[in-house]
């Protein structure tokens, strides 16, 4: 076990290793996340986007709230836009 983690962290690691965690997502939500994960690893192109510090910070916060890396959140948003699931309000 790693020496620099506290007791609470040790309990969390042990619970993860014991398979005692059960998903409370329904089948529809699981299917959505399955689609996201499939699309996440199907990278063929990379892009570079310049963001303001404020937009980048807010994006990272939203990603943390969603429990995904911010790059995955960006990819999900682009995918949803391309699929017509979200629209721009310009």
**What pLDDT score was predicted for residue 3?**
64
Crossing angle of helices 70-82/27-40, nearest 10°? 100
55 within a domain of the structure (yes/no): yes
| Under 8 Å between Cβ of 80 and 86 | yes
5 within a domain of the structure (yes/no): no
**What pLDDT score was predicted for residue 74?**
93
7 within a domain of the structure (yes/no): no
Per-residue pLDDT of the chain (90 residues; tens, 9 = 90+): 456 788 888 888 888 788 777 778 888 888 888 887 777 666 678 889 999 999 999 999 999 998 889 998 998 899 899 999 999 888
**What pLDDT score was predicted for residue 68?**
87
Domain count, the chain: 1
65 within a domain of the structure (yes/no): yes
Q: What domain range includes position 78?
A: 23-82
Crossing angle of helices 53-66/70-82, nearest 10°? 90
Global pTM reads 0.52
Q: Alpha helix locations (H) across the chain? A: 7-17, 27-40, 53-66, 70-82
> CA-to-CA distance for 68 and 30, rounded, in angstroms?
15
């Amino acid at each position: 076990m790693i020496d620099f983690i506290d007791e609470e962290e040790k309990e969390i690691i042990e619970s993860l290793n014991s398979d005692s965690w059960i998903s409370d997502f329904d089948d529809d939500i699981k299917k959505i996340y399955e689609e996201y994960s499939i699309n996440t690893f199907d990278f063929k192109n990379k892009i570079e986007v310049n963001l303001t510090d404020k937009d980048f910070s807010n994006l990272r916060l939203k990603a943390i709230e969603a429990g995904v890396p911010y790059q995955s959140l960006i990819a999900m948003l682009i995918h949803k836009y391309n699929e017509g699931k979200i629209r721009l309000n310009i």
